[in-house]
Structure 1
Amino acid sequence: MLSIKLLGGAKKSFGTDFLPVDLEDIPIKSLLDHLVSIKPKNTMTLDTKNILVAVNGVDSSALDGLDTILYSNDVITIIPIIHGGAYTRNRFQICNKSAELFHVKNVSGKNYDFLNSARKNFPTMILEGISSKHILGITHAKKMIGVSLFAQKHNSLLSKKLETDILLRFGITTQISDAIKTIGIENCKDFIIIAIGKKPSLDKLYDSLAPFLNSQIQFGDNSKFIQKQFKITKKHLDSIDSDTPLEDLLVEKAAVLV
């Protein structure tokens, strides 16, 4: 019998900080394979390439690494490490507000149920879902959020709710039905949740969403798709004196909506 102590994200992967395992005389790599195989579904991924493993308080790298043999009654401690962007959070300040982007993986075609559940659990926060295909990157998202926050400050929102204004700005439209049809999340494989709120609330939201998040926000090259979606031509882009003409043109179109 092995005694497994789980710290940090590993604890969230299994919903406990201690796990007895009825195995012995096996290498660490076999134990890790076993843990991955028994991890509950819909919990945070156990990234076995980014963990430290200690055996009876000794770092396994000082022993035989992943080939270290584990014996009966050994105590194995698993400690996730964060480096090279793993589990990177995308929180930022804009217009004196704290905001964060969360990249949600497929939640079995129940994207709006998922979003509405988060809204119910965090009623003081602003939460909106946007198709990840309609976001060029993090700076694009920041600028668009900034447009909505600026409009809120100057009492010129396109809707009574800030989250709806954000949806409309990304959709480059004043019609909610058109925005939902264009950039809505109902049929998306994955999507971005834009969250605005106090830092402690963002931390609690992150903990709640963690099992459903990609470890990093990933945007493909969506430029051609977005150009076609919003009928933006090369001539339009050539008229913009900028290093990011498509991004800036989208923000400009969003800003002039009334």
Structure 2
Amino acid sequence: MFTVKLVGGAKKSFPTEYLEIDKSDISIQELIDLLLDLKPTDSPKLDTENVLIAINGADSSAMDGKFTKIKNNDLVSIIPIIHGGSSKKMTFEYSKKQIQIIEIKGSKSINIKFIDELRKKYPKILFQAVSSNFILNAYHLKKIISLSFESEKNNILLSNKLETDILMRFALTTQISDAIKNAGIKPQLSFILIAIGNKKTLDSLYVELLPLSTNLFSKNNAPYLKNHFKITKKHLDSIHSKNTLEDILIEKAAILV
């Protein structure tokens, strides 16, 4: 016997979040077929082509895919993937690189060592963590990341690493220590995790971090940023743009040298 946990939209297809399956040593594909048989006919469709299936927290696609065997007492999580982004994840491509954005809830147990451990576990992913207070929205985030990519392309990074350049541009400083102090991870404060890698590895990362995540950009950080960077109403009024504060921050980040 093993347990199936339905996450997000997958829960709408069944009357309960957990299903106890009285079988073992069946494959992921056999489980999918079984779930489609068990699903009530009057419930929303279960899109089995756009789900991550994790066994005890590990992405099955990194094992044997749909041939992965499920053992007795395993916990199998069915996690829908909304391509392009969801309230808890945003993905996009820049300069042929896949970029995934997740917001991690603040916790006493999460600090810089958390990122170091992720780097060890996922050596092919570039990571950077930026305090949620320093990011306004998706527009602001994408623009800053694009600045760093273009700086790398033109060999004018603010540091010798792309991920460090990203943090420095959000913090609007050319000093790495100041960037870490102001815009880096702080105990009990939420942060935006920027991960750059291939889709398969990023999907595995998302499965692992989903329980720690929270909805992206749910807090209005405009007052904090205006105060921190001393951006006045006069300055804001002088900019003719739909994204006034964002564009001021992006301009300041662009001229860092």
| TM-score after normalising by structure 2 | 0.69
Q: Partner of 2:121 in structure 1?
A: 121
Structure 1's unaligned 5+ residue stretches are 11-27, 36-53, 63-77
Residues 254, 87 of structure 1: alpha-carbon distance in 2 compared, 3 angstrom cutoff: closer
Residues paired across the two proteins, number: 202
Residues 80, 161 of structure 1: alpha-carbon distance in 2 compared, 3 angstrom cutoff: closer
Residues 86, 60 of structure 1: alpha-carbon distance in 2 compared, 3 angstrom cutoff: farther
Residues 242, 87 of structure 1: alpha-carbon distance in 2 compared, 3 angstrom cutoff: closer
* SS, match of residue 6 in structure 1: strand
Residue 158 of structure 1, CA deviation: 0.4
Alignment of 1:42-61 (within 5 A): 57=38, 59=40
Q: In the alignment, is the contact (CA less than 8 A) between 1:168 and 1:176 conserved in 2?
A: yes
Q: Partner of 1:6 in structure 2?
A: 4
Q: Partner of 1:202 in structure 2?
A: 202
Q: Partner of 1:150 in structure 2?
A: 150
Q: In the alignment, is the contact (CA less than 8 A) between 1:133 and 1:222 conserved in 2?
A: yes
Alignment of 1:227-238 (within 5 A): 227-238=226-237
Alignment of 1:159-174 (within 5 A): 159-174=159-174
Q: In the alignment, is the contact (CA less than 8 A) between 2:88 and 2:102 conserved in 1?
A: no
Residue 210 of structure 1, CA deviation: 1.9
* SS, match of residue 59 in structure 1: coil
Q: Partner of 2:91 in structure 1?
A: 91
Structure 2 Cα separation of the partners of residues 234 and 220 of structure 1: 21
Question: Residue type matched to 1:249 in 2?
Answer: I
Structure 2 Cα separation of the partners of residues 181 and 79 of structure 1: 38
* SS, match of residue 116 in structure 1: helix
* SS, match of residue 192 in structure 2: strand
* SS, match of residue 143 in structure 2: helix
Shift >6 Å, 4+ stretches = 78-83
* 1:221 and 2:223 are equivalent in the alignment: no
Structure 1 Cα separation of the partners of residues 157 and 110 of structure 2: 29
Q: Partner of 2:29 in structure 1?
A: none
Q: Partner of 1:23 in structure 2?
A: none
Q: Partner of 2:246 in structure 1?
A: 247
Question: Residue type matched to 2:157 in 1?
Answer: L
Q: In the alignment, is the contact (CA less than 8 A) between 2:106 and 2:187 conserved in 1?
A: no
* SS, match of residue 241 in structure 2: coil
Structure 1 Cα separation of the partners of residues 115 and 97 of structure 2: 21
- Larger CA Rg, structure 1 vs 2: 1
Residue 89 of structure 1, CA deviation: 2.6
Aligned-pair Cα RMSD in Å? 3.0
Question: Residue type matched to 2:177 in 1?
Answer: S
Tell me the percent identity: 41
Alignment of 1:172-211 (within 5 A): 172-211=172-211
Structure 1 Cα separation of the partners of residues 208 and 39 of structure 2: 33
Question: Residue type matched to 1:223 in 2?
Answer: A
| TM-score after normalising by structure 1 | 0.69
